[in-house]
Structure 1
Amino acid sequence: MSRVTLLADVQLLQIIALEPYLIDRGDLLREAQYTYLRRVEEAPMEPRRPRKACDLCYTRRIKCDRQEPRCSNCVTYAVDCTHTAVSRKKKHKAQRDSGAEGTEDIQSLQAKVQRLETELAQLRGQAWVGNQAQKLRKTTTTAQVEDGRAEDPDHTRGLLTLPPLQQGMAMVGVFLNTLNSVLPLFHADTLLRLVGECYALHPRQRDPVIWAAINVVFALANQQVPKEIRDGVSSHQSDETTEYLNKAQSVISDIILGEARLINVQTLVGMVMVLQTAHNLKPSLILISATMRLVHQLGLHNHVASSHLDPVQRRQHTRVFWLAYILDKDLSLRAQQPSFQLDDDIDVELPSSWPMTTDDNDNTAGIVVTVDRTARMNYFLARVKLAKIEGHIYDCLYSTRALNQSLEERRTARENMTTAIYEWQASIPPEFGAAVVILNTRDKPEHKGFFFVLHSSSLQCMTLINRAHAWDGQWVSGLRDHSRGIQPLKLPPG
């Protein structure tokens, strides 16, 4: 074979040598193997012809006169005149003509080899990235175990386990009689049906979203039950709450990225309810953003999206929206960050306590009654109205647009917000005022926590409205006069 052919075969052998890395490129590998074998089999065998020149003349490339017994050159150099050296192969005309074609073949094979080397480098890079990712996962898992935040091993094995049925139903009862009675996240009958169906299934057959929703219910129930009195301070079952919350968060991708259903939004709202009590608001802020996106995807903020549902389902959609709205506005003001829901983009009715059907037993959700049954209050509706005020406070006093307003515009906005707070406080029945609510609801000790949140939120609003600012001329002049001893310091108008 010619030098061109041998060089091409070298390139083919390089391709074949990459076989372990070309599992997905079998077509190119087979082509290279076939080409190489065909060239070997079809290589022409040149016939050996007797040479006229002797070995000396042939080696030194000089003309041989072929004298016998020795040519003149052999006589001159005093060597034997022999004819045993191997002759050089002569390139045939056909091979010379195919030189250009061989060059093209080499260039084509070189391009293929270069392309394969590039793909091989990419495969090696991907393998390196995969190894690093695996190491990172191992490191993260180890850190979570050391920090006490390891993922639930049952879920890792695909088992969506639940506590014993008796224990689970007890926690569901606590949830329905405490938190859900004033902030109706679930329709009671619907929740009991979901719990029963989930317990009836094998752990591997359970719907991960429903399983997460039940764990969120367990976490919220544990928050409502005091664990014990230690050193005179009541501590809640934070360990159990965290355990159930971690289980629900282990399937967070199914909740957010799966099929959009009302149960998905209810689960996320429940998670935010658990997380909002922490000092670090970042987790709850992230979850409320995903929650509001699902709310908008389902159209819970518009009555048209639920107009085809029966009255009970339609009311539950409305309740879930307003719960998400409360959390959105409350977290927005606490974190001094914009909320997600625009008030101008809401077209649903406010929470109502009127029965939807003759056999409706869920119409009292959100209603709180005094111990003597002489006064009642729609706690849920009061929270919604306060959330609206919280949203207006941020928009009118702390948003970027508000910070660019004139001093007179900001003063007017502050006065309007103060008036709104006063009107809201006046709408609260006196039996449920901050001074007497614990006494008037002593038959429901769990309600004192809800009213504490209600009244402390209103005080927070008043504080944020009336706190001193450099742009408040009245406050600045009053502080200046007080520091100079001209007049006593005046308290804020709220």
Structure 2
Amino acid sequence: MAPRKACDICYVKRIRCDGQKPRCSHCVLYNTECTFQAASRKSRPAKKGSTEDTAALQRRVQQLEATLKQAQDKADKLESQLAQEKEDNHADITEHEVSLTGDISREMGLELPSQADVLSATDKYLKTLNCILPLFNSRKLLQCVNKWYEQPHERNISTWAAINVVLALAHRQISANEAFPTNNTVHFLNNAQSALNDIMLGEPKLLSVQILLGMVVLLQATSDLKPASALIAITLRIAHGLGLHAQSYSDGLSLMDALERNRVFWIAYILDRDLAMRTRLPPIQSQADISIEWPLETPVDEAGIVHTADGTSSFNFFLSRVQLAHIQGEVYETMLSMSPTTPDVRLENVARIHRMLDEWQARIPAEFSASSILQSQNSNLCRVFGVLYSSHLACRSCVCKVNAMEAHWIPELQEFGRKAAEGVIASPRVPEGWQKLVHETREFINLFVAIQNKDPAFIWMTACTYISGAVCLTANNLFNPLHTQNYLFSIHQFTIILILNFYAFKMASPPFPTLTSFTKTWHKEPYPFISPTRPELSAAGKNIVITGGGTGIGQATGIAFAQAGAKSVAIVGRRLDRLEVSAKGIQAVNPSTQVLFETGDVAKGTSITTTFNNIVENVGKIDILVANAGMLPADGSVSDYDESKLQECIQTNFMGAFNSLQAFLPLAAPEAQVFYIGSGISHWALFKEVPGVFAYAAAKSAALKMVDFFAHENPHIHVVGIQPGIIATGINPNPEIGWDTVELPARFMVWLASNEARFLKGKFVWANWDAQELLDRADEIKSSLLLRVTLKGVDM
């Protein structure tokens, strides 16, 4: 046996001996002699395997292989069934059902129609939409398509996504008899969406921006603008990384390459400003950060230029649309932002924007006015100019504050009509620029009515302006009953039906007939009083942590607090891919907010504790915890409900809240706040509209009572329970009633976090209730058992 290197004391204590003479370091430390006399431990001989053990092991391997074969057969059978169901369900998708979803897979491979079909559709797109919004360089796009088919070994996911976007855009321009027999806009958009993670998280390049902008073009022509708004924010951040907004990044490039970069940026600028006007949210792109020139007046390739049928007149549509987008930004800043201004400054701004709109209109040749376009009977021109003039008229209506959605406008008209009916003569109060607004409205409505094929995309882009215009002309007839141009007489019935349908859709009310609202006003979407940009709602200096932050309410809440200027927003969830996308969307709205994402499972105490500790190590103590993580279990009755499903529901919805509160408490900042996302189902009566939800109701009821105890035990923490509304999120994908927008509870929580809402400590509130009405009853609510869960009929 070789001599031992460790001395006796190091050997016995199993520590490394440094072999120093005359005594090693540890012998000096323990004040002992450095000797080498202790007997060494004997090595344990290796155990010899018996023949019986080997045979048993072989039999076990054979059993496992047989079990694996059975499982593989079942998996193959299930995959086949799912593929068939997917094929069957695809036939039910309609052309206008376009949405943004992250769950589309590429299990069928990067498939595309034939080369001839794709080239035909691409040619259609290049000759229609790309002519006025030059998103792609025609030569490069055709080369890209041909290379896909001719050099299959060089295929990549970005090229596949780009071709799918082009096919989706082309499909909007193709007549029914030219369309692909089995695929439509939805199919191609879903294909492109399945590549979102690769595009957004991959190496930034111009093609990535073009793909995302193509998707925004499709998504902004839908009833729900949230996906388009989120995507344009991410797109602009990628564009900034590529320097598309800065002239210095294009220096040294060829003329055509520089033109392509500039055009891609200006299309992003158009979409950003247009979405800001339509959603009444701040635009992402700052005007002061742009150093590139306007699009060329006479580009060498004539991209963005439209011509009359006889070729005698032309008009730079693209340049005009960019200039209108600039005005849209000015309108938002002046009329819709929360920036405080004096009445005199506001009047000056109104006059200035009226002049800008007049000058923009004056630059359009007479051959391309609304009336001339109507006479040309060119369906393509009618459509694109219909959208253009709709955007212009929306600006004018907003400046005049006579939009159909203005809170004061409709009541004033009703009051004027009532007095007129009673014989009271009163002079109507009309804003500056009223007559010009009336004239432009007549021109637009004539054009709108004449367009024969109003597909859903066109309707969603223009219907609000049309309705506002119809109200405007109705008001003008009311103000001038003897006017010879009683314009609305011929379309009176159509207008009234459309307006009534519109208000039936927009006017919010509780989802169930037996449910009453605590406030007179019931909201289904955000409103100015809870806007995160209100200075009174600033979250500056606050660290926000949101469980379930990868999608739905959690993601929207992160965006809202970023808009409110939070110091940091940390989102927690189980799915890393969702968290990464959500974090990008949050960061895009406010680069100054530090955004973190951490994987963690609220159902496991050690997991969520570790996650919260990691966050605090990065940003400091937690100021606001939004306990949002939850799941909606399968419906069923108590008598035959599956026990494992009930345990899963309780583990996530009850234990998840319990674990989150325990992990949060030692990490809470002074005056910290907790917003528990509960559910009204935990205390409302049994409604026939929501049968079989006892498991969810029971778990939420238990969690709400636990949160009450937590608030009582920790009076230094501001705790509020919230019913977020009935929202189409990941856990509630197909509600049949009461759809509220996901931004409503998100922005409501920003208001709850402000000093204005301090009186709601320890209460349970609904995000649908009007915040200002709640504030008016602050003293009453604070000093009573209002908005607490108690037993009706028993004085508590």
| TM-score for the superposition, normalised by structure 2 | 0.40
Match of 2:247 in 1: 303
Match of 2:107 in 1: 156
User: How many residue pairs are counted as aligned between the two chains?
Assistant: 342
Q: Return closer, same or farther for 1:237/1:334 CA change in 2, 3 Å cut-off.
A: farther
The letter of the residue matching 1:434 is A
Query: How does 1:395-434 map onto structure 2 within 5 Å?
Result: 395-401=333-339, 404-434=340-370
Is the CA contact (8 Å cut-off) linking 2:166 and 2:214 kept in structure 1? Answer: yes
Kindly provide the CA deviation profile for residues 130-187 of structure 1, in whole angstroms up to 9, marking residues without a partner as x.
xxxxxxxx9xx99x9579689666x225x21111011000000100000011111111
Match of 1:57 in 2: none
The letter of the residue matching 1:369 is H
Match of 1:175 in 2: 125
Work out whether 1:217 is the aligned partner of 2:151. no
Kindly provide the CA deviation profile for residues 95-140 of structure 1, in whole angstroms up to 9, marking residues without a partner as x.
xxxxxxxxxxxxxxxxxxxxxxxxxxxxxxxxxxxxxxxxxxx9xx
Counterparts of 2:124 and 2:244 in 1: how far apart (Å)?
A: 27
Is the CA contact (8 Å cut-off) linking 2:189 and 2:215 kept in structure 1? Answer: yes
3-state SS of paired residue (1:373): coil
Counterparts of 1:252 and 1:219 in 2: how far apart (Å)?
A: 15
Kindly provide the CA deviation profile for residues 202-239 of structure 1, in whole angstroms up to 9, marking residues without a partner as x.
3x75111111011100000001123279xxxxx99996
Structure with the bigger RCO (C-alpha within 8 Å, sep 6+) is: 1
Instruction: Identify which range, 160-169 or 430-439, moves more after superposition.
Output: 430-439
Match of 2:376 in 1: 440
Is the CA contact (8 Å cut-off) linking 1:353 and 1:365 kept in structure 2? Answer: no
Counterparts of 1:165 and 1:282 in 2: how far apart (Å)?
A: 34
Equivalent of 2:141, from 175, 181, 191? Answer: 191
Counterparts of 2:322 and 2:298 in 1: how far apart (Å)?
A: 17
Match of 2:304 in 1: 366
3-state SS of paired residue (1:447): helix
Counterparts of 2:135 and 2:333 in 1: how far apart (Å)?
A: 27
Work out whether 1:320 is the aligned partner of 2:258. no
Match of 1:381 in 2: 319
3-state SS of paired residue (2:371): coil
Instruction: Identify which range, 344-353 or 190-199, moves more after superposition.
Output: 344-353
Is the CA contact (8 Å cut-off) linking 1:478 and 1:489 kept in structure 2? Answer: no
Q: Return closer, same or farther for 1:151/1:488 CA change in 2, 3 Å cut-off.
A: same
Equivalent of 1:449, from 347, 364, 383? Answer: 383
The letter of the residue matching 2:348 is T
The letter of the residue matching 2:157 is P
Query: How does 1:201-216 map onto structure 2 within 5 Å?
Result: 201-202=151-152, 205-216=154-165
Kindly provide the CA deviation profile for residues 289-334 of structure 1, in whole angstroms up to 9, marking residues without a partner as x.
0110011101111111011210110011111110000000000110
Q: Return closer, same or farther for 1:471/1:215 CA change in 2, 3 Å cut-off.
A: closer
Query: How does 1:245-324 map onto structure 2 within 5 Å?
Result: 245-324=189-268
Give 1:415 shift: 2.0
Counterparts of 1:388 and 1:237 in 2: how far apart (Å)?
A: 41
Query: How does 1:32-181 map onto structure 2 within 5 Å?
Result: 38=41, 155-156=106-107, 159-181=109-131
Match of 1:462 in 2: 396
Is the CA contact (8 Å cut-off) linking 2:162 and 2:211 kept in structure 1? Answer: yes
Is the CA contact (8 Å cut-off) linking 1:431 and 1:437 kept in structure 2? Answer: yes
Counterparts of 1:291 and 1:184 in 2: how far apart (Å)?
A: 17
Give 1:439 shift: 3.0
Counterparts of 1:241 and 1:472 in 2: how far apart (Å)?
A: 37
| TM-score for the superposition, normalised by structure 1 | 0.63
Counterparts of 2:290 and 2:418 in 1: how far apart (Å)?
A: 48
3-state SS of paired residue (1:290): helix
Counterparts of 1:418 and 1:239 in 2: how far apart (Å)?
A: 45
3-state SS of paired residue (1:446): helix
Equivalent of 2:287, from 336, 339, 343? Answer: 343
Work out whether 1:486 is the aligned partner of 2:425. yes
Is the CA contact (8 Å cut-off) linking 1:272 and 1:288 kept in structure 2? Answer: yes
3-state SS of paired residue (1:377): strand
3-state SS of paired residue (2:306): strand
Counterparts of 1:205 and 1:338 in 2: how far apart (Å)?
A: 41
The letter of the residue matching 1:390 is Q
Q: Return closer, same or farther for 1:220/1:411 CA change in 2, 3 Å cut-off.
A: same
Counterparts of 1:182 and 1:326 in 2: how far apart (Å)?
A: 13
Q: Return closer, same or farther for 1:331/1:239 CA change in 2, 3 Å cut-off.
A: farther
Give 1:260 shift: 1.0
Counterparts of 2:214 and 2:363 in 1: how far apart (Å)?
A: 28
Structure with greater helix share of residues: 1
3-state SS of paired residue (1:347): coil
Is the CA contact (8 Å cut-off) linking 2:327 and 2:353 kept in structure 1? Answer: yes
Q: Return closer, same or farther for 1:270/1:214 CA change in 2, 3 Å cut-off.
A: same
3-state SS of paired residue (1:368): strand
Give 1:482 shift: 7.1
Counterparts of 2:182 and 2:396 in 1: how far apart (Å)?
A: 31
3-state SS of paired residue (1:435): helix
3-state SS of paired residue (1:294): helix
Counterparts of 2:364 and 2:382 in 1: how far apart (Å)?
A: 15
Q: Return closer, same or farther for 1:411/1:169 CA change in 2, 3 Å cut-off.
A: same
Is the CA contact (8 Å cut-off) linking 2:137 and 2:260 kept in structure 1? Answer: yes
Counterparts of 1:350 and 1:196 in 2: how far apart (Å)?
A: 32
Match of 1:330 in 2: 274
3-state SS of paired residue (2:207): helix
Kindly provide the CA deviation profile for residues 245-276 of structure 1, in whole angstroms up to 9, marking residues without a partner as x.
11011111111111111111111111101111
Match of 1:87 in 2: none
The letter of the residue matching 1:486 is I
Is the CA contact (8 Å cut-off) linking 2:102 and 2:194 kept in structure 1? Answer: no
3-state SS of paired residue (1:184): coil
Is the CA contact (8 Å cut-off) linking 1:160 and 1:206 kept in structure 2? Answer: no
Is the CA contact (8 Å cut-off) linking 2:205 and 2:242 kept in structure 1? Answer: yes
3-state SS of paired residue (2:172): helix
Is the CA contact (8 Å cut-off) linking 1:184 and 1:365 kept in structure 2? Answer: yes
Q: Any stretches of 5+ residues in structure 2 without a counterpart?
A: 1-39, 46-78, 94-100, 438-796
Counterparts of 1:216 and 1:472 in 2: how far apart (Å)?
A: 39
Match of 1:84 in 2: none
Counterparts of 2:382 and 2:362 in 1: how far apart (Å)?
A: 20
Radius of gyration: which is bigger? 1
Identity within the alignment, %: 35
Q: Return closer, same or farther for 1:417/1:355 CA change in 2, 3 Å cut-off.
A: closer
Q: Return closer, same or farther for 1:184/1:489 CA change in 2, 3 Å cut-off.
A: same
Instruction: Identify which range, 274-283 or 346-355, moves more after superposition.
Output: 346-355
Match of 2:328 in 1: 390
Counterparts of 1:447 and 1:471 in 2: how far apart (Å)?
A: 31
